[in-house]
A and B are shown apart, each in its own frame.
Chain A
Amino acid sequence: MTVTSAPVRATPRHVPQAAPRNMARLLWVELRHNAMPLVLPLIAVIFWFDSYRIAATLPPLWVVRLYYILGQGHALIDFAPFVAGVAAWMGSRDGRRGTGDLVTATVRPRWEAQLATWAATVIWAVGAYLVFMAVTLYLLARPIAWGGLPWWPIAVDAVGVAAFASLGFALGAYFPGRFIAPIAAFGGLFAMGTSSQIGFSASGGWALILPTMSNGNFGQDAGIFYTWLPDLSVARVMFCGGVAAVAVGLLGLPVRAGGPRLRRSAAVVTVTGAAAAVAAIVLAFTAQVGPYGTVIPALHDAANDKPIPYTPVCGHAGIPVCLQPAYRPYLPDVTTALRPVISQVAGLPGVPVRASQAAAVFAPGPTVGGPDHVGQIAMVRGSPPVLYMPLGTIALPSSFGAVTASFVSQLKVEFAHALVTPGSSYGNPAQQAVEAALLQHAGISLAAQPKALGDTPWPLMGGGPRSAGAYPPPVAAAARRFAARPAAARRAWLAGHLGALRAGQLGLGQLP
């Protein structure tokens, strides 16, 4: 029997597809020979020192603990330069070794082979980011009593890491050489530094697209009273994903990258990426700051405006005091602060019958946890009167240099201010004098009040630091006079005059 006379065999239905398997094998080879794992221990140390170490000292609320890591973008700052540098090194491999022509002549198109190296680099970088972030969140979560994670900002940084890796890789592929890795790395750090500079100073517009920009979109009581708005994060994912796509697509455009069909695909990837990035910037321009964060009308889902239901945790300070459960660790401090003020006025007309926490919001508008007109300070409203306290606007102990004593002092001042004034104004001299007397009997002496008021919206004026001001002499004298009266006499006077005092109808001379 010869070959020509042999019976024809039917082609098996499931022919093994060599190309995908080879691509997977190539990816596996690139994963094993990638340089990224070499720098991961270094990134882990930097991430621990720069991000976790600082976040772990902050108050046990997700929004506060993650403000530094995700809001101001330190997770990305810790990852991006290293990832960009190593990716540039990987991208420049063939060029550095002078094997570009050799690998171009292989059976697999150049772009495809580069994609395998790029994919391996991105998988290592993004995978490491996700693992480090998971460990960090696990460790940070231990003292946190309540609240949900901001998944979208985490995704933004993951895509940001991919974008920096892709940009570095493309840079290395186009400009191979020994210096391309440090240039990409320090360029990445320079970009992040510039981004931080713009993020700190800008308030809106295109700058919102920067992952280090926290103004109006990361903070307040997000994730506690209301959900994290994903609008801006979605736009940022679009932007970073678009940048990554452009970088990858550009690799496939040169003639040596592959055949016309492949290069057309690369062009489509490049154009799509560029369109996504530009669209994201355009969307950022349409953003507006609402009560719960930055809203992009085209991306906004009204379902995200619903408040998060919760069962309050309550204590007693002469009146019931109820807080959102995320703030449970601060309930003793709040009752400690309110008790000495309440004890002076409890039961008088116009004095709150309970205290309740209100949400700290990003901008005026309808809020949850209190009536619409409650602003960003403690206020007494409603009938029967209720004290609404937006604790999220006050520096909690161990944040921004605050300690428990300063937190308690600030609460005392806010409550006393809410009792004698109707709103956020400084108050007239009579109101200031009564407030000073109330605070003195609440444990803050007149001498200590400039410091206590220094951290509030109503610092005493003195031409120096906020904590070094002083009451005008007539106000100080009236405060001393009122404070010197017996408790029963003060209470009797307040019973008859608190309404007029709050309305601003009393002058300094009408105080006893």
Chain B
Amino acid sequence: MTTAGVRRSAPGATPTPLTGPGQAWLRMAWLYLVSRHAPAATGLLAGFGALLWAALHWHWNVAGGSAAAAVFPLITEAGAAAVIAVTTYGPFGEPERATGRWLPYLRLGATVALTAAAIGALALGSTGGVLPGGYAALARNVAGITGVGLLCAVVLGGMLAWTGPMAYLVLIESALAAGLTTPWVWPTRPPLDRGGAICASLVFAAGLALVTIRGVRESVRDTAT
């Protein structure tokens, strides 16, 4: 006997889960999120929120001017952005790209959801004290620095994507200390500044678009080192 004429499972076989289109979508999204370690990333984002809460509650301020006052909030914002950028790395490579036609939507959804989760976690953390710049600056900074991380992921690969937010953070601190206020370094601008918001939005949109459409670079070093 061959399997050519078989139309039903053998008795005792594991039944196919009863899934409608919605449930299948949910399952696929969940599997995608798990493959990107999104649950762990969410935990880390919550950790950054807790860190921000502690920094504001216990007044961990570096003595000095605006650069010093913003150190700890910016570390948590850039740290959250780095975590989101690192989640873009996928372990499956070519097979996933060849078979997953919903992949761009999954990338888009996961990145947007994690960015929203980061802003939410840090906003909760900011209840520990007075956040310099308030929620508007927080959302702008997290979105913009996440964009830097996403662009870095496209160029360097997901595993090294954290270097973008880290480098941008050092650049912000240096710019704040030197009094530079270009809108491309948006954390140096007032919270409701239009130029800063536009630049941050552009960078986030560019990063999101590239990650969604093209995916992150699969660096040789991701597997060779």
Residues of A within 8 A of B (CB): 33-35, 38-39, 42, 45-46, 49-50, 53-54, 77-78, 81-82, 85, 89-90, 93, 177-179, 181-183, 185-186, 189-190, 193-194, 196-197, 200-201
Contact B178 A54 (CB under 8 A): yes
Chain B residues in 8 Å Cβ range of A197: 60-63, 68, 71
4 further A-B contacts with Cβ under 8 Å, apart from A181-B162, A189-B166, are A50-B174, A81-B170, A89-B159, A189-B169
Q: In the assembled complex, how far is the CB of residue A110 from the closest CB belonging to chain B, in whole angstroms? A: 18
B71, A193: Cβ atoms closer than 8 Å: yes
A and B contact pairs by CB, cutoff 8 A, 22 listed = A33-B225, A35-B160, A35-B225, A46-B171, A50-B170, A50-B173, A54-B178, A77-B170, A85-B166, A89-B159, A178-B37, A178-B87, A179-B44, A181-B159, A181-B162, A182-B82, A182-B166, A186-B166, A190-B51, A193-B75, A197-B60, A200-B68
User: Is B41 positioned at the interface, with any CB of A under 8 Å from its CB?
Assistant: yes
Assess the B62–A90 pair: CB atoms within 8 A: no
B interface SS class: helix
Contacts of A200 in B (CB 8 A): 62-64, 68
> Which B residues, 66 to 93, have Cβ-Cβ distances below 8 Å to chain A?
68, 71-72, 75, 78-79, 82-83, 86-87, 89
Query: Known contacts being A45-B167, A181-B162, is A35 close to B61, with CB within 8 Å?
Result: no
B221 interface hit (Cβ, 8 Å): yes
Q: Tell me if B62 and A46 are in contact (CB < 8 A).
A: no
| A179–B37 touching, CB < 8 Å | yes
Do A182 and B83 touch (CB < 8 A)? yes
CB distance from B122 to the nearest CB of A (A): 14
Taking a contact as CB atoms under 8 Å apart, the answer to whether B75 and A82 are in contact is: no
Q: B166 — which chain A residues lie within 8 A by C-beta?
A: 81-82, 85, 182, 185-186, 189
- How many A-B pairs have beta carbons closer than 8 Å: the answer is 103
Q: Which residues of A contact B44 (CB under 8 A)?
A: 179, 183
Q: How far is the CA of A177 from the CA of B171 in the complex (A)?
A: 27
Does A193 lie within 8 Å of B62, measured CB to CB? yes
Q: How far is the CA of A181 from the CA of B89 in the complex (A)?
A: 13
In the bound complex, how far is the Cα of B64 from the Cα of A81, in angstroms? 22
A193: chain B residues within 8 A (beta carbon): 62, 71-72, 75
B219 and chain A: residue at smallest CB distance: A38
Whole-angstrom distance between the alpha carbons of A78 and B166 in the complex?
10
Residues of B within 8 A of A89 (CB): 159, 225
Contact of A39 among B72, B75, B79, B163 (CB under 8 A): B163
Judging by beta carbons under 8 Å apart, are A85 and B159 in contact? no
Report the separation of the CA atoms of residues A200 and B167 in the bound assembly, to the nearest whole angstrom: 23
Chain A residue contacts of B37, Cβ below 8 A? 177-179
Q: How far is the CA of A33 from the CA of B89 in the complex (A)?
A: 20
Taking CB atoms, residues of chain B closer than 8 Å to A189 are 75, 166, 169-170
- In whole Å, how far is A187's beta carbon from the nearest beta carbon of chain B? 9
B4 contacts the other chain (CB 8 A): no
Residues 15-55 of chain B, each 1 if its beta carbon lies under 8 Å from chain A, else 0: 00000000000000000000001001100100000010000
Beyond A179-B37, A201-B63, whether A35 also contacts B221 by CB under 8 A is yes
**7 closest residue pairs by CB, A with B:** A182-B162, A200-B63, A186-B79, A182-B82, A50-B174, A197-B62, A35-B225
> In this complex, what residue of B is CB-closest to A184?
B162
What residues of chain B lie closer than 8 Å to A194, measured between beta carbons? 60
Q: Is the CB of A179 within 8 A of B86?
A: yes
Residue of A nearest to B85 (CB): A182
Q: Are A33 and B224 in contact (CB under 8 A)?
A: yes
Q: Which residue of B lies closest to A96 (CB)?
A: B159
Indicate if B56 sits at the interface (CB-CB under 8 A). no
**A178 near B86: Cβ-Cβ < 8 Å:** yes
**In whole angstroms, how far apart are the Cα atoms of A183 and B83 in the complex?**
8
B156 sits at the interface (CB 8 A): yes
List of A residues within 8 angstroms of B173 by Cβ: 50
**In the bound complex, CA of A53 to CA of B225 (Å):** 33
Contact of B156 among A38, A46, A179, A185 (CB under 8 A): A38
Q: Which residue of A lies closest to B36 (CB)?
A: A178
Whether the pair B60, A186 counts as a contact (CB closer than 8 A) is: no
Q: How far is the CB of A87 from chain B (nearest CB, A)?
A: 12
Q: Which residue of A lies closest to B40 (CB)?
A: A179
Q: Cβ of B62: which chain A residues have Cβ within 8 Å of it? A: 193, 196-197, 200
Given A33-B225, A179-B40, A190-B82 contact (CB < 8 Å): no
Bound-state CA distance A42–B224 (Å) is: 21
Complex Cα–Cα for A182 and B164 (A): 11
Query: B75 near A186 (CB under 8 angstroms)?
Result: yes
| CB-contact partner of B79 in A34, A35, A177, A182, under 8 A | A182
Asked if residues B83 and A179 are in contact (CB atoms below 8 Å), the reply is: yes
Q: Which of A89, A179, A183 has the most CB of B within 10 A?
A: A179
Interface contact B178-A90, CB-CB below 8 Å: no
Report Cα–Cα, A320/B28, bound state, in Å.
Answer: 86
Chain A residue nearest to B64 in the complex (CB): A200
Q: Is the CB of B75 within 8 A of A85?
A: no
Given the complex, which residues of A lie within 8 Å of B87, measured CB to CB?
Answer: 178
For residue B174, which residues in chain A have a CB less than 8 angstroms away from its CB? Answer: 49-50, 53-54
Residue of A nearest to B225 (CB): A35
Please give the distance in Å from B224's CB to the nearest CB on chain A.
Answer: 6
The closest CB in chain A to the CB of B157 belongs to A38
Chain B window 168-192, contacts with chain A (Cβ cutoff 8 Å), 1 for yes, 0 for no: 0111011001100000000000000
Q: Which of A53, A85, A182, A201 neighbours the largest number of chain B CB atoms within 10 Å of its CB? A: A182
> What CA separation (Å) do A82 and B86 show in the bound complex?
15
Query: Which residues on A sit within 8 Å (CB–CB) of B40?
Result: 177, 179
- Could you say which residues of chain A place their CB within 8 Å of the CB of B82? 182, 185-186
* Alpha-carbon separation in the docked complex, A377 to B114 (Å): 58
- B160-A49 in contact (CB<8A): no
Asked whether A186 and B163 contact (CB < 8 A) given A35-B225, A179-B86, the answer is no
Residues of chain A lying within 8 A (CB to CB) of residue B178: 54
Query: Which B residues touch A196, using CB under 8 A?
Result: 62, 68, 71
B194-216 Cβ-contact flags toward A at 8 Å (1 or 0): 00000000000000000000000
Looking at the assembled complex, report how far the CB atom of A71 sits from the nearest CB atom of chain B, in whole angstroms.
14
**A93 pairs with B79, CB closer than 8 A:** no
- Residue in B62, B63, B86 whose Cβ sees the most chain A Cβ within 10 Å: B62
**Chain A's nearest CB lies how many Å from the CB of B128?**
16
Task: Enumerate B138-158 residues with CB–CB distance to A below 8 Å.
Answer: 156, 158
